[in-house]
Structure 1
């Protein structure tokens, strides 16, 4: 069984969640997991000037995704930072290049799941994921989130991302906050949950 994690990350927060999701998916027997990043649209000189390029070095080894490769996956878990309550332009551009797959029905019946990062606690985590689902539904994918069997969703003693829509983290206005232990654990649960459901469907 094959799981693909396709993400866009500017400063590394989404990548940190992606690593935890991958770790969770690998806990399911005979599950192969591959991480990919979407093509970056921001010019190199701009990334360097803003300091983003230094942060991106942590995942520079991750290969760039192509739409065609998604056909090989049983489940695809997408990660994106939030831009005004929606996915980033980089992720939107990647999905906009999947028209051929849509026309051929190549992703119909595959599992799709989403995780995100926002700057603030109410910065659009749920709207980003739910609006992302629209694209997955047009592809005929089966959407999987994070059920409340993951008890960490009920955490109220600290600020934490994570909802039934999917794992999430808060980076803070300056990006100084990194995913907490609770957020990483929810992400790991999401990866394991997606892989488990994909395995069940694959067996039928």
Structure 2
């Protein structure tokens, strides 16, 4: 099955979570497209934050997402930092560009899941994932959260989707393991749905 992992990352935290999710999906047997959305911030803003400027260079080899990646996928995991409890403008702009697929009914019946990071522990992680879920409802998607279905989720404490506190430094091994698990759960659920539809 085909899994797209589409994310926005300014300083690298979401990039690390997305790569872990890609690894988890591949190990579960999926064909994976790891894609970043286009950067919309002006160069002056990026250059003013050294970690942001460095990450732009470090992720230059990651292919930029297109709506074809969603059309291709049986399941999509979206990753975004929180922006005042909402997805980043960059990811939202990409989602808004998928309107033509929505009108054609090509976004329905796919599996969707989300992961995030915020600067602080109460920085809007859950509301960001819930805001993305509003999009999935409109698309007619099937939302697959990690829940508390694996011991790693009990350690991370977020049943909505993998989340990270950027103020604590880079994602820990436990957080990366949670992202891998979330992707494996998405793959397993998507496989079950595909098998059920085939019979």
The normalised TM-score by structure 1 is: 0.91
* Cα root mean square deviation, aligned: 1.3
Aligned to 1:53: 53
Aligned to 1:21: 21
Partners of 2:11 and 2:55 within 8 A in 1: yes
Aligned to 1:167: 162
What does the per-residue CA deviation read over 1:53-79, in whole Å, with 9 as the maximum and x for residues that have no partner?
A: 112322221111112331110000000
| Matching of residues 44-123 of structure 1 within 5 Å | 44-51=43-50, 52-123=52-123
What does the per-residue CA deviation read over 1:140-175, in whole Å, with 9 as the maximum and x for residues that have no partner?
A: 1100110212112222xxxxx551110011111xxx
Aligned to 2:191: 199
Are residues 1:189 and 2:181 paired?
yes
* SS class of match (1:112): strand
Partners of 1:7 and 1:78 within 8 A in 2: yes
What does the per-residue CA deviation read over 1:116-153, in whole Å, with 9 as the maximum and x for residues that have no partner?
A: 01000111110000111001111111001102121122
Partners of 1:162 and 1:183 within 8 A in 2: no
Greater than 6 Å deviation, 4+ residue runs: none
Aligned to 1:158: none
Are residues 1:137 and 2:129 paired?
no
Structure 2: tracts of 5 or more residues without a match: none
Are residues 1:35 and 2:34 paired?
yes
Tell me the distance in 1 between the aligned counterparts of 2:193 and 2:164. 29
Aligned to 2:171: 179
Residues paired across the two proteins, number = 195
Partners of 1:39 and 1:64 within 8 A in 2: yes
The normalised TM-score by structure 2 is: 0.94
Distance 1:12 1:47, change over 3 A: same
The structure in which a higher percent of residues are helix is 2
Tell me the distance in 2 between the aligned counterparts of 1:74 and 1:44. 35
Partners of 2:4 and 2:69 within 8 A in 1: no
Tell me the distance in 2 between the aligned counterparts of 1:162 and 1:5. 22
Partners of 2:24 and 2:181 within 8 A in 1: yes
